[in-house]
Amino acid sequence: MTSPTPSAQPSESDQEDRVFRSPLGVAGGVFLLLLAVFFGIDSMLNGHGNAPFIAIAGLILVIPLIVAFTFRPVVQVNGVRLRIRNPFRTITLPWGTVADIRAGYSSEAFTQDGGKYQLWAVPVSLRQRKRASRRAARASQDDPHGRTSVSASVSDHDARVAPADRTVADLRETAERLGGKPEAQGEAQVRWAYEVIVPAVVGLVLWIILAVTG
């Protein structure tokens, strides 16, 4: 899975958000939704017995989960807070509460009180990271003394860093720069996505009942 790219240019406005999401995740979600709807409709039209009802229950279960894991994940950034929307939770972190943002095998935000939250919208691709490392190694061999121009160096540096690592570095720099602002103080807020959880649970219960009684 490729890492996300910002959908807007950086802005210091407290009202205007920069939005990060995974384009490949959204594309995968569209494909999975079409696949689920196709098989669901086919079962409803051609199924026998309670198969159509099982198909409906399956769609009620599957569609919220597809939406949760593909369309929901997003990271929104403005001048006062970092908002992380994951499959089942939305976490709002004022910059003053953010201790660090790191990317290992996944991208994670750490708070001053020891909390840790994964950034689903910024997936780490080890393949892209290896590719960027190879580009950096080739560039160092081609120009061992760093004699390229400043503008070329900036664009070359971006090409030598994996997109997820570049996004995480941007978020970390923003946290360091804005963490001391008075309006960026407060407590972390976590909200569960009941609009996703409830339909999925209802669909699961219905599917189990129909499967057992069928």
In SS3 terms, 95-164 reads as HHHEEEEEECCCEEEEECCCCEEECCCCCCCHHHHHHHHHHHHHHHHHCCCCCCCHHHHHHHHHHCCCHH
Q: Does the pLDDT of residue 96 top 70, yes or no?
A: yes
Does the pTM surpass 0.85? The reply is no
Give me the pLDDT at residue 152, please. Answer: 42
Q: Does the pLDDT of residue 13 top 60, yes or no?
A: no
